[in-house]
Amino acid sequence: MRFRPMLGIMIAVFSSVALAWQLEVPQLPLTDKRSVADVYHGVKVTDDYRWLEDGKNPEVIAWSDAQDKHARALLDPLPLHAEIEQFLKRLYNKRAPSFYDLKNQHGLLFAMNSQPGQQQDVLVTLRSPNELASKRVVVDPNQIDPSYSTAIQFFIPSIDGSKVAVSLAGGGSEAGTLHLFDVATGKELPDQEQRITGNGGGSVAWSADGTGFYYTRYPHEGERPRQDMNFYEQVYFHKLGTSVSQDSYVIGKDFPRIAEISLTTSDDGRYLLLSVENGDGGQYEHFLRDPSGKWMQLAQFSDHIMAVAFGNDGLYMLSRDHAPRGRLMRLPLTDPELKNAVTIVPESTAVLQDFGFSLSGLRPAFVITPQRLYVTELIGGPTEIHIFDHDGHPLGTVPVEPVSSIDQIVPSQGDNILFENMSWVDPAAWFVFDAASNQTTVTAMRESSPASFAEIEAVGEFATSKDGTKVPLNIIRRKGTKLDGQNPTILTGYGGFGLSQTPFFDPSLSAWLDAGGVFAIASLRGGGEFGEEWHRAGMLTHKQNVFDDFIACAEQLIKAYTNPAKLAIEGGSNGGLLMGAVLTQRPDLFRVVVSISGIYDMLRSETTENGQFNVTEYGSVKNPDAFKALYAYSPYQHVKDGTKYPSILFTVGENDPRVDPWHSRKMIARLQAANASKNPILLISFSNAGHGGIGSAEDQRIAMETYWSEFIYQQLGVKWVNPVMQAH
C-alpha cells in the first residue's frame, strides 16, 4: 500500500502536553542578520539571511543542526511520539502487498512491488495479475544496498522481455545510474551508464533487436562549464558489450537548456518517439525517428501537442491547441506531418488527461489497443475511462468505482485492459476490463486497509474565491460529523504545474478521522482539474489566484466545520510555496502550518538548478511583469515583524535536488525573528533524504510522518484515538 505523505498525513494527539514542552531543550541558535541588497527593475530588495543559502558552509551546517536538535528535543519527548511511530509501523506491516508502474512485455508482467516489512520497493515479474504466486524478484535494492538508501527510480524492459534497464539513485538525490539485469536470473550485466537522470528526469528506450538502447545523458566532465553540468540533456545510444566511451550521440544539441526528455518505442521497436518539455511549465515538442534512422519533428512548442502514443494504425496525439480541455488526433506513420492529423475525439465538457508523471518520463493517460481507444477523462478531480473506436466513435465507459481515480491503464490481451482504481474511501486495486463482455473484474492485485473506513464518507463542496471562481473542496469525514464549527480540521492543496488533485486512499487518516477530525483537499487553480485554462489561471503572473482559492476554501470550512483555532494546513513542494504564501497573507486564519520541502524566496529561486526548470511555470525575475508578480507574493519577502504567526513546522531533506533546503532555512530564520506569538516555529532536517521523502526507506518515511503528525495534533490539542486494526 502506497501512502500519500504529501497529502494525507496521519495525525496523533497527546495528553500531558504541557509537561513535555516544559522539558529542558537546546536553545535555538542565534541567527545573525547579514544584509545583502539586490535591485530588480529599480526596486531595492534587502535579504538579511542570504548567508544561510550556503549549505556547505560549516557555520550554516551548525545552524541547521542546532535548529534540528531544538525541534526534535521538543517533539521526541511528547508522550505519544512512540505511539505514533508504532501506529504507523502497524499500518505498514499489516498492509497488503501493492503493485504499481505495470508494464506488459513479451508475455511477462513487470511491476514495482511494495511489501510489508520491506524498506525499499523491488522490481518483480508475474505471469498475470491473478497469479501472485508466480512473482519473481528481478531487482531488490534492499540487497544491493544494506543501508536502504538506494531506490529504483524507473525500469524499462527490452522488447523481448529478456533484459531490463533500471535506474538506481541513492540518498534521495535523484541522480540516477543505469544498470542492466538479466530478467530470468536477476544477474546484473556489465553495462552501466552514469548521469542518465537529473533535474530534468531521465529516460531509456531499447532498440528493436535488444542489442542496445537509447538513453538520456547529462554532460560529462569537461563537456560543459560547471554551472551547466545538470542541464542540456541529450540522447545517446549504447551498444551492449562496448565501452561507454564508444556511445554515439543521437539528438539534442539544439534542445533548450532546460529540456526534459522522454523516450518511447513502438511495440516492435522500429520507431522511436522523443518528447521534450521546456522546463516545467507544460510546453512540449515531439520528434519521431523512423526505421531508417531519419528524424522528423512532429510538433513544436507552439503547437500545444501535450502527449503522443503509438497505435497499430498511426500516432495518437492529445492536443490543447484551441482546445484547453483537450482533443485527440490521429496521424499516419506513413506521412507524419502535423497538417495530416485528423481529430477523432473532439473537445468536450470533460478534460482529456494527457499523461501521468513518472521518473522515466511521460506516460500517456490514453491507451490504444488493436481496435479500441481508452481515454482517461477528468471531471473536476474524479476520473473515468471512456472507450472509442479508432475513428472516435464512442463505445461507452469502463465500469469503475464511484468518485474515484484511474492511476494507470495497461494494454492486456487483445482489446482488454488492466487498470488501477482507487477512491477516497477504497484502497487501490487492479481490474481487468474484458472488451467482449464489457465487464470489469478485480484481480488478485488488490490492496486492503488495516484500518476500517466503513464509517467514513467523502463529500464535495465548492468555495467561492476572491474573483468569484468556484473552487472544488473535497471533504473526508466520519458519517454523522456535526457541522458545529468545532471540528479539528486539516486542509491541504497544491495548485501548480497542471497537476490535479484526484481521489487517493490513505489509511493513516483513520486515526485523525476516528478522533473527530476532518480532512479537506482543495482543487486549486494552477492544477489541471478543469483543463489548461484552469492551469494557466494559476501560473506565472496569475499565481495569486491559487492563494486566494486556498484562503476561500479555509473560509468555507470555517462556515460549518471548524474555526481558526482548530484549523491546520499542510502541503509540500509547490504546496509548500502555498503554505508560505497563505501564512504570510492570512496568519490569523490558521492555527498550525506544516510545510514539506517548500519554496519561499521566489526572487532567488531561479538561482538554484531546479529553480531554472520552474521559470516556465512561475516566471523569471528577469522579466519586469513576472518580477512584479513574484515580489507581490513571495513568502520570504512578506514576513512582517511583530506579527503573531501560527505554530509552524518545516521539514527538509538535505539531499533535495528539486527545492534547495536553503529556502526553508531562510524562511524559518525570518519567521523566528519576526514572530510576536508564543507559538513554536521549527525546522527539522533529514540528512540522507531528498524531496518530500522520494527514495526514502520505509523507516525514514515513518519518521517524517511521525513529526508531521504529532506537531498538528499536539498544537490543536486533539485527543488520541487508537484505531482498531482489521485483518486483510
Residue numbers annotated as active site: 573, 691
Residue type, 71: A
Helix (H) or strand (E) holding 39: strand 36-40
- List Cβ neighbours of 248 (8 Å cut-off, separation of 6 or more): 236, 237
How many whole angstroms separate alpha carbon 341 and alpha carbon 330? 5
The C-alpha cell 485528423 sits at: 342
Rg (C-alpha) for the chain, rounded Å, is 25
- List Cβ neighbours of 395 (8 Å cut-off, separation of 6 or more): 372, 387, 388, 389
Coil vs helix vs strand at 560 = helix
How many whole angstroms separate alpha carbon 294 and alpha carbon 299? 16
How many whole angstroms separate alpha carbon 474 and alpha carbon 504? 11
Coil vs helix vs strand at 364 = strand
Report how far Cα 697 is from the mean position of its chain's Cα atoms.
17
How many whole angstroms separate alpha carbon 401 and alpha carbon 425? 10
What angle (nearest 5°) sits at the alpha carbon of residue 688, between those of residues 686 and 690?
Answer: 80
How many whole angstroms separate alpha carbon 297 and alpha carbon 288? 6
Grid cell listed for 371: 481496435
Q: Which residues of 594-632 are buried (b: 16+ CB within 10 A; e: fewer)?
A: bbbbbbbbbbbbbebbbbbbbbbbbbbbeeeebbebbbe
Long-range contacts of 59-63 (CB under 8 A, 24+ apart): 60/665, 62/29, 63/29, 63/31, 63/665
Grid cell listed for 25: 531543550
How many whole angstroms separate alpha carbon 233 and alpha carbon 218? 5
Long-range contacts of 374-378 (CB under 8 A, 24+ apart): 374/398, 374/409, 374/417, 375/328, 375/345, 376/352, 376/406, 376/409, 377/350, 377/351, 377/352, 377/353, 378/350, 378/351, 378/352, 378/353, 378/500, 378/502, 378/528, 378/529
Q: β-pairing, 150-157 with 295-299?
A: unpaired
How many whole angstroms separate alpha carbon 597 and alpha carbon 651? 6
